[in-house]
Amino acid sequence: MAKSYWLMKSEPNVFSITDLKGSPGKTCYWDGVRNYKARNYMRDEMKVGDGVLFYHSRVDPAVVGTAKVVSKGYPDHTAWDPASPYYDAKSGPDNPVWYMVDIQFQSEFARPLALAELRKVRALKNMVLLRKGVRLSVQPVTAEEFRTILGLARRVSK
DNA sequence: GCCAACGTTGGC
DNA sequence: GCCAACGTTGGC
């Protein structure tokens, strides 16, 4: 199957691209997603080798770099750890409800691509990220959108 | 910090 | 199965 592309949101004060870069093997598991649609993407559609845009939400919202998917979806064990902030009594080792994938750091952009800047780019006007009211923390990106973002990241800031 | 928009829960 | 109420997300 062809490579797919995704955008994954994280609040930088919780887990930033710098944290990902500093993780062992520059790899982390993407735990804590508790939204069914986002879960379905991770559980059913994400593949090893898929491209990921790393997005910082809330604080200076911007796409800040890229990563790649390095595992298929597998159960998110933080859901059955009562000590975890992501604990969910619905889920257990025998009946996992929530899933995650592993991602590995690939690049950090020379400058963040702010949400406000992306809104001005015609080629991105249909991007899920820019649609009103979309709160999905894992969302699909087209190959063309992915390419456009990489191109913008390479361009010098005005 | 505000608040609009969303997803989920729970009463009926 | 509906839908109001609630908690959360996330841009501004």
**Which protein residue has its CA closest to C1' of B7?**
A35
Using DSSP, state whether A66 is helix, strand or coil.
strand
C1' of C2 to CA of A154 (Å): 51
Question: Is the distance between the Cβ of A37 and the closest atom of strand B smaller than 7 Å?
Answer: yes
Residue-wise pLDDT for A54-103, tens only, equals 999 998 999 999 999 999 999 999 999 888 889 998 888 888 999 999 99
C1' of C4 to CA of A36 (Å): 22
**Which protein residue has its CA closest to C1' of C12?**
A58
Q: Among 3.40.50.300, 3.60.140.10, 3.10.590.10, 3.60.20.10, name the CATH number for the domain at A5-150.
A: 3.10.590.10
Cα distance between residue A154 and residue A156, in whole Å = 6
- The strand B neighbours among A residues 91-130, by Cβ under 7 Å, are none
Task: Read off the pTM.
Answer: 0.93
Where along chain A do its domains lie? 5-150
**Where are the alpha helices (H) located in chain A, listed in sequence order?**
17-22, 36-40, 115-119, 143-154
What's chain A's Rg over C-alpha atoms?
A: 16
For A95-117, what is the mean pLDDT? Answer: 95
| Predicted local distance difference test score (pLDDT) of residue A55 | 97
Within its chain, how far is the Cα of A33 from the centroid? 10
| Predicted local distance difference test score (pLDDT) of residue A92 | 87
Say how many Å lie between the first and final Cα of chain A, rounded.
38
Q: Is the distance from CB of A42 to CB of A138 less than 8 angstroms?
A: yes
In strand C, which positions have an atom below 7 A from any protein CB? Answer: 9-12
Dihedral Cα A25, A146, A149, A115, nearest 10 deg: -90
* Position A122, amino acid: R
